[in-house]
């Protein structure tokens, strides 16, 4: 079946290929049952690419990714690459994709499924009904800005340094995305930085304040220091709706929010670029928040649901298929209600299943929901 929708598959390393393989079963199901098909291309990234080509991503794979309508990404990295030159480490394949495609807006939802309330380390009354979204600026800040490096300053002493740099336009465009997302939710934005000790934070707060004044009609906005935000996520997470923050703090806070839900294996993410004014196309990549989990790689134990929920986000944000995204989300919820779980979300009295077994249940629920 031909399609004008191109999907680039980048499984990566560790458990990445396993969870991507299972998620593609749902892509096949959509083609057979919903007449939704994709032209699928696949490439190597991360350690898999380094092992074959000596680089974490080739120019050819990058070009294919940029030609696609969306990218479904697995995970990269592993201890075998710890001594590889820094610029050739697996993670730099992912960083290059983000930078070259200008994927500046990283959406990381944290939602607690009712049947997983007991999987969280927090009390049920704190997280029951939790549904928040962390919006992380992804292409600026300390992970990319110069100068950075390690220098020998003599006397057997070295210094290592990084730069947390943001410009007004970079902050404005992520702020606009935050406002747009909030308008479709409860209309509340919390802007997070460290304006008390960092000049980049002072600018962030200034720009967000002005942006809200000029373009934030109908949006309730609050400012919060990053350390306080981390505390509040654990203390009273349901006070938040959309949290917008920089690259470093977004990286940290999204992992903190992940454990509110009980497992990194449940959290999807979307990385979006600007809409091209000429073509109307938006670069987009979808990936689970969890890493490559080398300790369980190849054992068929990984939770595939974060990858599947990333596919759901892809349908929603890249292809405007809200009904199909809602269907997948509902099938995941019912699969969790059914009982069997992967090890990361295991509960007393539940049957333990592996990667394939978990997706088998989701596919059964998709059949039940559509018949």
Q: What tens digit of pLDDT does each residue of 344-355 get?
A: 888 888 899 999
Is residue 124 one of the residues assigned to a domain? no
For residue range 21-37, what is the model confidence (pLDDT) as tens digits?
Answer: 999 999 999 999 999 99
- Of 236, 260, 284, the last residue of a domain is 260
Average pLDDT of 287-310? Answer: 95
Name residue 72's beta-bridge partners.
9, 286
Query: Active site includes 286?
Result: no
11, part of any domain: yes
Residue 161 among the catalytic residues: no
Instruction: Write down the pTM of the prediction.
Output: 0.88
SS3 content of the chain, % helix, strand, coil (to 5): 45, 20, 30
Q: Cα–Cα distances in Å, from 20 out to 12, 95, 201, 269, 288?
A: 9, 20, 37, 14, 10
Q: How confident is the model at residue 2 (pLDDT cuts 50, 70, 90)?
A: low
* Mean pLDDT lowest among 40-49, 243-252, 263-272: 263-272
Instruction: For residue 143, indicate whether it is catalytic.
Output: yes
Selecting among 50, 143, 225, 317, the annotated active-site residue is 143
Can 320 be counted among the known catalytic residues? no
Residue 1 pLDDT > 80? no
- 79-137: pLDDT as tens digits: 999 999 989 999 999 999 998 999 999 999 999 988 888 878 889 999 999 999 999 99
Residue 18 lies in a domain: yes
pLDDT at 228 over 90: yes
* Residue percentage of the chain with pLDDT more than 90: 83
Q: Tell me if 113 is assigned to some domain.
A: no
Pick the last residue of a domain from 199, 233, 260: 260
pLDDT at 225 over 90: yes
**142 and 241 together in one domain:** yes
The one catalytic residue in 13, 69, 246, 251 is: 251
- Do 201 and 98 lie in one domain? The reply is no
146: CATH: 3.40.718.10
Domain hosting residue 32, numbered range? 1-106+262-371
Quick check: is 121 in a domain? no
Using DSSP's 3-state secondary structure scheme, residue 38 falls into coil
Q: Is 114 inside a domain boundary?
A: no
Whether 125 maps to a domain, the answer reads no
Strands 220-225, 39-42: parallel, antiparallel or unpaired by DSSP? unpaired
Q: Are residues 221 and 323 in the same domain?
A: no
pLDDT at 120: 84
Whether 364 and 311 share a structural domain: yes
- Say if residue 82 is in the same domain as residue 139: no
Same-domain check for residues 294 and 230: no
Residue 117 lies in a domain: no
pLDDT over threshold 70, residue 159: yes
Averaged pLDDT for residues 125-153: 94
> For the chain, where are the E strands, in sequence order?
6-12, 39-42, 70-75, 105-111, 131-137, 149-154, 157-161, 188-193, 220-225, 242-245, 268-275, 282-288
Among residues 102, 131, 162, 255, the one annotated as catalytic is: 255
Residues 18 and 80 occupy one common structural domain: yes
Residue among 102, 227, 329, 360 flagged as catalytic: 227
Same domain, 256 and 266: no
Query: Which tokens in the block code for residue 366?
Result: 């998709």
What percent of the chain clears pLDDT 70, i.e. is strictly above it? Answer: 99
Tell me the average pLDDT across 177-189.
94
Considering only CA atoms, which of 292, 307, 294, 200 is closest in space to residue 249?
200
Task: Write down the catalytic residue from 50, 69, 194, 317.
Answer: 194
Asked if 194 is an active-site residue, the reply is yes
- Computed over every residue of the chain, the mean pLDDT equals 94
The string of DSSP codes covering 232-243 is HHHH-GGG-SEE
For residues 223-234, give the mean pLDDT: 97
Strand partners, 134: 108, 243
pLDDT value of position 261: 83
**What is the pLDDT averaged over residues 41-57?**
97
pLDDT digits (tens, 9 = 90+) for 253-283: 988 888 888 777 788 999 999 887 777 788 9
The single-letter DSSP state of residue 341 is B
Structural domain tally of the chain? Answer: 2
Whether residues 241 and 203 share a domain: the answer is yes
Residue reference for tokens 């290592």:
160
Structural domain ending residue among the three candidates 260, 277, 301:
260
């Amino acid at each position: 079946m031909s399609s004008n929708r191109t999907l680039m598959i980048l499984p990566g390393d560790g458990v990445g290929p396993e969870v991507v393989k299972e998620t593609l079963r749902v892509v096949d199901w959509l083609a057979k049952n919903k007449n939704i098909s994709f032209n699928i291309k696949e490439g190597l990234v991360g350690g898999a690419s380094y092992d074959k080509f000596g680089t974490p991503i080739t120019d050819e794979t990058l070009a294919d990714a940029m030609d696609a309508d969306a990218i479904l990404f697995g995970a990269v990295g592993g201890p075998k690459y710890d001594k590889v030159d820094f610029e050739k480490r697996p993670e730099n394949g992912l960083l290059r994709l983000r930078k070259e495609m200008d994927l500046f807006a990283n959406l990381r939802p944290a939602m607690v499924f009712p049947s997983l309330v007991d999987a969280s380390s927090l009390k049920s009354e704190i997280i029951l009904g939790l549904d928040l979204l962390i919006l992380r600026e992804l292409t600026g800040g300390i992970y990319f800005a110069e100068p950075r490096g390690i220098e020998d300053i003599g006397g057997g002493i070295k210094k290592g340094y990084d730069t947390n740099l943001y410009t007004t336009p970079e902050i404005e465009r992520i702020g606009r995305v935050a406002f747009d997302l909030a308008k479709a939710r409860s209309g509340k934005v919390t802007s997070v930085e460290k304006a008390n000790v960092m000049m980049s934070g002072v600018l962030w707060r200034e720009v967000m304040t002005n942006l809200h004044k000029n373009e934030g009609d109908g949006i309730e906005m609050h400012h919060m220091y990053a350390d306080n935000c981390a505390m509040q996520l654990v203390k009273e997470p349901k006070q938040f709706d959309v949290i917008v923050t920089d690259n470093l703090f977004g990286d940290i806070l999204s992992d903190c929010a992940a454990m509110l839900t009980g497992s990194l294996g449940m959290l999807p993410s979307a990385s979006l670029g600007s809409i091209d004014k000429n073509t109307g196309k938006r670069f987009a990549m979808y990936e689970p928040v969890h890493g490559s989990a080398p300790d369980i790689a190849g054992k068929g134990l990984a939770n595939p649901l974060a990858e599947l929920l990333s596919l759901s986000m892809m349908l929603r944000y890249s292809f405007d298929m809200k009904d199909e995204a809602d269907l997948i989300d509902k099938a995941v919820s019912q699969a969790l209600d059914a009982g069997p779980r992967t090890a990361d979300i295991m509960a007393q009295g539940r049957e333990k299943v592996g990667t394939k077994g978990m997706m088998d249940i989701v596919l059964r629920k998709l059949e039940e929901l559509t018949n």
